[in-house]
Amino acid sequence: MINIVIQKFGGTSVSSVESRNKIVEKVKNKKNEGKNPVVVVSAMGRKGQPYATDTLIDLIKDCKHTSSRDLDLLMSCGEIISSVVLATQLKDQGLDAIPLTGGQAGIITDNYFGSATILKVDTHVLENLIKEGKIPVVAGFQGRNEKGDITTLGRGGSDVTASILGEALQADSVEIYTDVDGIMTADPRLVPNAKVLSSIEYNEVFQLAEYGAKVIHPRAVEISMRANIPIYIKNTYNDSPGTLITNYNKLSVKKSIKNSIITGIAHILNVAQVTVQIKNNKTHFDPLFFTEIANKNISIDLINLFPNEKVFIIQHENIAILEDLLKQKNYDYKIIDHCAKVTIIGNRMRGIPGIMARIVSALSREGIEILQTADSHTTISCLIREEDVEIAVRVLHEEFHLG
């Protein structure tokens, strides 16, 4: 198959007749360019709107006997409704579209309801439809197991659907349409002069997503990176070029972009710093302590281990569970709640001296206390108090000339 383009449209894009008309234009344009579009859709709108996933879940929130299988069947309905409605609207505009569930499109998963792993994609149905000149409109976020039960892929699963279909069909590109012009250097709600990146490397956007930027599901990036398929983040409502996600060695990019040391800044709120104190080596530290934390389904981050103390961060909602465990161990501990992790990301900071010095200096000028740091070759994270996030992100954005 040739000239296949995956076009994925999010919940806001499919939520009204007017926005779906914009989708029709995007799909029709691809057809006119000689491309074979395969469309992937999310459920309509957000919580509170009739067919949004969270709204569907609320229908049975007070029921005591809902199985994970039944919940997946219910949650899949939002995307199925979107696929039928959009396919009908495409047909009304003269485009031969056909709606499909994820399972009908050939997405086969394991039996882990709620967060299923895709095992394979049988492309037979999609390839035949494309050969017939039809436009498949696939319900995102879902597949089916070997028994035929509908399974869902977890939050952000429609992005994953788009990338896995792109890989399976050897598509030319994957286009993710949303209500913003592309990936930005920082959250525009905090930094008014944040700019849209014309291009970014797979690893950088994966890091942005991992460290809090709501741009694209990290798993979707992994799949497209594995298949070396470029991803475009675009706006449904205009014709802006968006952001291209690819490898720089396969792309001619603007010199100013390529030479920029820092690509963007991401942040995560609602975290707490935990310090477990081992005084004068008199307190026995259980080496299985972190295993017990994991068994409580608590994820930890920014881990620093010293002879006399162990420091890490957790999500705010896990504080009570962790405190119970700390008290059982009779540990001395300190918790600083209402923290945030701010991370600068850039593949080209590798081997460049002075980056941390600039971060510390910039934050110090604003009187912002750094509680903890962690770094890799391509990221530097600082833990600060949540009340300082807006100033910190703006200052670092200015320090590295991202605006």
pLDDT band at 287 (very low <50, low <70, confident <90, very high): confident
- What pLDDT shows up at residue 50? 87
Give the Cα separation of 339 and 273 in Å (integer).
Answer: 7
- When pLDDT is averaged across residues 129-141 and rounded to a whole number, the result is 97
How many C-beta neighbours within 10 Å does residue 90 have? 23
Give the Cα separation of 78 and 38 in Å (integer).
Answer: 19
Q: Which domains does the chain carry?
A: 4-179 (3.40.1160.10), 264-399 (3.30.2130.10)
Q: Which of 61-65, 82-86, 226-230, 387-391 has the lowest mean pLDDT?
A: 61-65
- Whether the CA torsion 24, 26, 29, 30 is positive or negative: it is negative
Q: Residue 392: in which H helix or E strand, if any?
A: helix 389-399
Q: What is the pLDDT of residues 153-200, one digit of tens each?
A: 998 899 999 999 999 999 999 999 998 899 999 999 999 999 999 999
> Would you state the structure tokens that stand for residue 254, as one six-digit string?
């603007």
Q: Which of 7-11, 107-111, 277-281 has the lowest mean pLDDT?
A: 277-281
Residue ranges for the known binding site are 8-11, 53, 79, 178-179, 189, 214-215
Give the Cα separation of 298 and 39 in Å (integer).
Answer: 37
- What pLDDT shows up at residue 249? 54
Residue ranges for the known binding site for ATP are 8-11, 178-179, 189, 214-215
Residue ranges for the known binding site for substrate are 53, 79
Quick check: 259 pLDDT over 60?
no
- What pLDDT shows up at residue 350? 82
Percent share of the chain, pLDDT over 90? 77
- When pLDDT is averaged across residues 318-343 and rounded to a whole number, the result is 95
- When pLDDT is averaged across residues 26-47 and rounded to a whole number, the result is 94
- For the chain, the average pLDDT equals 92
pLDDT band at 255 (very low <50, low <70, confident <90, very high): very low
Residue with tokens 């009570």: 320
